[in-house]
Every structure is written in C-alpha cells, then in structure tokens.
Structure 1
C-alpha cells in the first residue's frame, strides 16, 4: 500500500529547517558579492558628483576667459531726468557731455468738436515714411468710438483715441512712431468722375482729414496739435539727431534714452563694470571650493568613527585633487604685473580652499584691470604654462570631461563593474534556486524512506508483541 505523507510527518525529519540552513551556507558568498557591488556603486555615484562639480568649475573658469566678462561697462548719467544710458560689450570707458535741445515727437491731429455725426466714405491714411497707404471705410452716422476702432484695427501707422470735453467728442490721431519722417496725411477717397478716384480734404469726411500741404480751414479739417519732430542733442559738442528718443551710435556701444530738454550739458560717464567681474571671480572661487571640499570628504578617513570616505585610497581621485590645487596655487609667466592669484587677493588656504580678500581684489581691478584680465584670460598656444588661470582650469576641466577623459573613462569602468556584479548575482541566484530544488528533492526522498522504515518498525514491534502474547 502507498501512503500519503508531508515532509517531516511520520519520520520526524525537519526537512524545511534542514534545507533552509543548508541554503544559508550556500548563499553566504552572495552577501560578499552584494557588498562589493554596492561599494562600486557608491564610487560610481561619487564620480558622477565629481563630474558635476568639475563641469561647474570649468564653466566658471571659461567665463573668466571671455572678453565679454572683462569688457562689461556701465554708464552713469549726471542727471537721470535728462537721460539714462546702458552699454553693451563694445563700449569703451570714457567721459562725455550731452545736452538735449529737442525731444522726438509724434505728429498728433484732432478733429473739430463738431465733426460728428459723419457721412459715409473712405479715409486714406499715408505714413510720411513711405509704405502702402491704408484705406478705412467709414459708415454714415458712425460714432467717434466706432471710427476710432476701425482706424486702430486697420493698423495704418496711427493710433486713434477719443477725447470728450464740454464742446463734444473729438477724434485724435497720433503717429505710431516719433520722428519727422512719420508725419502722416489723412484724405478722403472720392471719384474723379471718369471711373477713377482721387483724394480730397473737402469731401463729406473733411472734418476727419488732414494734409499739411493743404491749407486747413478752422472747423473744417483736423488741426495739428503736435508736429512730428526728431530728437536733437549734442554729444561732446557734436550735433546728433534721431527719429526716436533713443540715441544709438552717438557713443559706440552706448544706448542713450532722452528724458527732457536740458539747459546745460550733462555728464555721461562710461566705466568698467568691476562689480560684474567680481561676481564672476566669486563664482569661480565658489565652484573651486565646492569641488575641493567634496574631494576632501570623499578621500578622508575619520579615525574617531573608523570610517573611510567612499574614495579613500583612490589614486585617481587623489591625483585629480593634487592637479587642481597645483594649478590654483601655481605661478603664471604671462605678461603683466601679476603672476599669482594671491597677488590680487585670491589666496589658497592650507586645506586647499580659496578665500577672497575683497579690498585687495577691488584695488587690483581698479588700478590694473588689464593685468588682472591677463592673469585669468591670457592664452599662449605654444606654451601652456603661459596661459591664464581661467584658461588652464577650463582646459583641465575639458580634458577630464571629454568622451575619453579621465573622469569619463573612470565612470565607464565602474559602471562596467557594477553591471558585471549585478550579472554575477543574478547567475548566482539562479544556481541557488537549482541547488535548493535539488536539496528539497533529496531530503524529501529521505523523509519518505524514513517514514517507511518507521512504519515497518511499528509493524515488526506489533508482530513481536502479538507473538509474545500468544506464546506466553
């Protein structure tokens, strides 16, 4: 007879416990594999952060090699109510005088108070600067607001508005742009009696027309309330003129916004923008310190906690930090009065970090800006040691981060190790699954045999007992 049994039942053999304990021994190497892969993963993560910090330092160094950084200027007006000024990268430091004789104006005309209601017709608006004339159809009985909206919708180079006073509503037309060239005419389109058309200022819409070349009758045509005019000024005694109140080109690289007429000349001062340069240098020092601090943390060993940084003992990281500090604390041989960063107030401390003496840096920028620029931005294609510190650290960062650079190659190597470790763990787990299945099969078979032996022993014991009773 066959019997139904569960592992350990009947035989007393604890198959599950035995297999579990045996598998714990078999799986012991997995923990070591996981620990090793985790360590490499942490190193890979650390190198990722190093790449990010190096990239930031490279970009900050690059900014100090740019002509734009060193050519930044700022313009100051002696009276901001007369004019204000801004500069671009081409402006040169210098002092100028500027007086304003006339501001640019936009032509403005106004209709008579009795202009409305109007008759039907077509107004033709022509900008004096040329371009296509725009026709606007006016309906009989159109209100001032309706006429205004039709003209504005036509985008004819004028802006229409309605002004209402005790005399009634008036239509105002103002040129969209200032300047003498933007004087405009408004004429009514009428038939010439021969199948063609002509324009006039005496038709049904006469009170909405204006033409400076035609005599304007009071109460019959629109009247000129402001003539179109150019801005006129003097820069260092030289006459300049502009269609708008923005003067560009009068002083190279400087845009001047006129505010009002001046009774006397006002000083315009263009100076080097040392504050923006100091901001760029500060960003450079911050980026350097972030990288230096991170490298120090990752390679340190804490004797108290007996814990080492992720990259402690990593020769590549130590070499990287050594090279960075060597560049920053080194000496340049470029032309100029400065050969070391410390000479302009950027000092390297014992821990490798940078500190900035603002007073010393401000003094250097004010006294010898060109030499400070050379300290960072000078380039010598023949001799790398002649390059400025910004150039050298930018090139150092580029070399580390390029596709076959040291940081890129190291990260790729660590990633391959992580991938290999993960693959090995997967293969190991697959083997352990097979081993566990084999052990369970073996011990289940042993359990069945022991169960049978136990049953046989019970039967023999029963038979012996019965035999003893029968012979007793």
Structure 2
C-alpha cells in the first residue's frame, strides 16, 4: 500500500508514527489467533505420530492373530549334504526318516566314435526324436520303448553339407525336449544329446532315415538299441529318484519331493542311509512376534504419557495435556492390557507371561514365564493372543482385542480421526478469520491515512493564511 511521505508536515503531527501504533494494536488479535493456530498445528502433528504408533501396534497385533504365525515351523536335517528340507506350508510337527536309494537322472547319449572336427559332415536324411520310457530287463538292457503321453516327435532334416555344428544347432532349435552339445578331446569331436528333464518318462529315442546318397553315416546319430544297436551309446539312463520315507517307497522324476509330505519340500542330494528330518514349532519366530507386540504397545503408551503429562519441575505441559481424547485413549489401552481372558487356559493375564504392566504402564520383557509358555503351552498361548469369544468381545485374546479397538479409533468415524479432523477445521477457521482481520486492517489504514492527508491539506491552507494575515498586519502597523 502506498504511503504519503509528507503526511504531518502541514499539521506538525507525526502521523506515520501514530498510524503505526494504531495498526500495531489492531494486529494483536491476529497475533493471538496465529499463536493458537501454531499450537493447533503442533497438536495435529502429535496426533499424526499417535496414528503412526497405533498403526504399528495394530500390525503387531494382527500378526499375532494370523494363524500362519502360530503354524510357523523350523525344519532340520541330520545330514544336509544328503537330504535338505524346507517348509512350504503348514506341515505337522514331528520327525521323518528318509533313505535315498537312487537319484533321478536324465538320459544322456554320445556318438560311439569321434569325428575329426566340429566341421566334419556326417551324412544326410532325417532324424526323428521322440520322448518316452525305455523298458529294461533285469540287467537294465533296453527291451522296448513307449512314447510319452502328450508329447510329439520332432523331425530334423540333415543336408549333405551339414557340419556337426549345424546338426547340433538344428536339434536344439527343434525343441524336442533334448539338448545337443559337442565334446572335444584328443581324439576329435563327438555329439552328445541329453534330456532337458530327468525322470523315466523323459527318456528319448532317435531314429534315422538316411537319404538316397547317404552311405550310412546318419545312422551314427541314431539311438534305438532295440532295433539299431550300432548307433549312439548310452552314457546315463533316464531314471526316477527313489527313496524310503518312514519306510514307505516313493518315486519322483526329479530329486525334489515337493508333494510327498504336505507342506514340506524335500531335496535329495545323494544316495544315503536313513536321514532324520525334524519339523518343530518355530518358537523363535513366535517369540519375536510377541516381542514386537510389546515394543509397539510400550511405544504408544510412552508417547501418550509424555504428551499428556505436566512436568512440575520444568513447569511445562505436554502438547496434549488436558486433551480428553488422548487421555481416554491412554486409559482404554491400559484397561485392555490390564484385563484378562479365560480363553488361554492357565494363561489369563499379561503377568502370566511375565509381561506385567509396570508403574509407567509399559509391559515387561517376559523372561522364564514366556519361555515356559513357548515350550510347553503353545496352544494356550495362541488362544491367549488370538482367541475369539463369540459371546463376549471383552473375553477375546489380547491381540484380538487390541486389533479391534485400534481399528475402531482409527476408522473414519473413530475418536482419533474425528479429533484430527476437528483440529484441522479449527485451523482452517482461524486462517479464514486472520484473512478477514487483515482485510479489515488494510481498509482501516487506508481510511486513516486519507483522513490525516485531508487534515494536513486543510492545516497547510490555514497556516498559509495565518502567515499572510500576520504579514499584512505588520505592514499596516508600519504605515501608521
């Protein structure tokens, strides 16, 4: 806003100083409202921290009401070099004996004799590759072949100029369930072919149909020992893994027994005498969930105690001191953890787990009582935290009660949400009132300055007239 720098010259009054003091008085209500808004912003910020701490406690409570927390198991193997085990679900606790009598393998064949180099040509015609199962006699000699259900044979055309590398690449490009490679040693190069997957049904047969100009070279790449015994030689048979699980025979196309025992993944690594597998409740994981729960409770309890108290030594009050919503929240939380439940059998109060609330309201760290419950009262401990009483919510497990309570206070119509909304609304109203007062003060200052400017002009005129009259009277006195 523009000011008149000469204001007061005509009247002799220090108008700028006078207006400044008047407007300073008018600014005081704005300063008072601003101070209140600053305090409200601090309260809103603290309530944001309260929400965060409550959410953490809610999540910790939810974990203790999740069945998977209580079904967590720890698996061990007496010989991890032979058999490993991992939980994939919720297996029953106990022990298993696993004896591995055979590991799964994929069929692998190789050329009976090497060729000079990878650039050598073999012959021409057509190779047909079919996945399937080889029947064998007592000495493991092939006696017949059965095509794998759902698989189709692939045909590969070999031209007269195709080198060994070309044949390898054509086999791999055909996606017939096998992989071709070339091995080179001091004697030359040999083509090897291996099933992509292990197991009896993933064996394969290769039939050769030499072209009219072939002199029998393509037959070197055939594997059909029943009908053509002079083709490629067998390096490894396609066999299933075989084991005895608690004395019962099991078979698998791979070395992973992922469906033999519900909830367990067992991996066979080598043929071995019986290996003991142990499946026990993971008390360490459950202990951590309980420890996280108590830490989350203590965090919100400490926060509310600090924010609502009055420190007589420093004569300072917490940001939420006297706030009924915060005081009610702290009281309700203490009431829940200080209560009891009959669902946990011999475990009825937090004190039964060594989690007694102290003078400051914080839960203790547990100790031997918690150890005893984890080792011998797991079912009772589970009900103590996550139990649900259909007839009385007040008798629910402690984690269930806290989770439900926090969901309520943080909900859209919950006490914390309503209080935060109320504070924000008050801040918004104050901001609007400050804008109104600023507009009023601006208008007042303009009006006052205009009035003093007019007074200045009038006083200046009268001053000039007074000077003129004085001069005229003086002149008249001289003439007489």
SS at match of 1:348: coil
Q: Which runs of 5+ in 1 are unaligned?
A: 194-200
Give 1:365 shift: 0.6
Give 1:161 shift: 2.5
Residues 1:444 and 2:453 are matched in the alignment = yes
1:315 maps to what in 2? 324
1:227 maps to what in 2? 237
1:205 maps to what in 2? 218
Q: For residues 461 and 119 of structure 1, what CA distance do their matches in structure 2 show? A: 139
SS at match of 1:271: strand
Alpha carbons 2:343, 2:397 under 8 Å: kept = yes
Give 1:110 shift: 1.7
Taking structure 1 as reference, are residues 330 and 440 closer, same or farther at Cα in structure 2, changes over 3 Å only?
same
1:176 maps to what in 2? 196
> 4+ residue runs of structure 1 moved beyond 6 angstroms?
none
Alpha carbons 2:199, 2:240 under 8 Å: kept = yes
1:400 maps to what in 2? 409
Taking structure 1 as reference, are residues 446 and 158 closer, same or farther at Cα in structure 2, changes over 3 Å only?
farther
Q: For residues 335 and 383 of structure 1, what CA distance do their matches in structure 2 show? A: 15
Q: Which sits farther off after the overlay, 415-424 or 207-216?
A: 207-216
Taking structure 1 as reference, are residues 13 and 202 closer, same or farther at Cα in structure 2, changes over 3 Å only?
farther
Post-superposition Cα deviations, 1:299-330, rounded to whole Å, max 9, x if no partner, equal: 12222332211100111111111111111122
- The total of aligned residue pairs comes to 456
Give 1:139 shift: 5.4
Q: For residues 202 and 232 of structure 1, what CA distance do their matches in structure 2 show? A: 44
Give 1:274 shift: 0.6
Q: For residues 22 and 48 of structure 1, what CA distance do their matches in structure 2 show? A: 40
Alpha carbons 2:259, 2:265 under 8 Å: kept = yes
2:396 maps to what in 1? 387
1:239 equivalent among 240, 249, 263:
249
Alpha carbons 2:344, 2:382 under 8 Å: kept = no
Give 1:453 shift: 2.3
Q: Which runs of 5+ in 2 are unaligned?
A: 133-147
1:96 maps to what in 2? 96
Give 1:355 shift: 2.2
1:186 maps to what in 2? 206
2:357 equivalent among 348, 355, 362:
348
Residues 1:126 and 2:95 are matched in the alignment = no
Q: TM-score, normalised by structure 1?
A: 0.90
Q: For residues 344 and 422 of structure 1, what CA distance do their matches in structure 2 show? A: 52
1:253 equivalent among 246, 263, 284:
263
Please show how residues 23-102 of structure 1 align to structure 2 within 5 Å.
23-102=23-102
SS at match of 2:95: strand
Taking structure 1 as reference, are residues 464 and 65 closer, same or farther at Cα in structure 2, changes over 3 Å only?
same
Residues 1:330 and 2:339 are matched in the alignment = yes
Alpha carbons 1:121, 1:204 under 8 Å: kept = no
Alpha carbons 1:333, 1:385 under 8 Å: kept = no
Give 1:470 shift: 3.8
SS at match of 2:356: strand
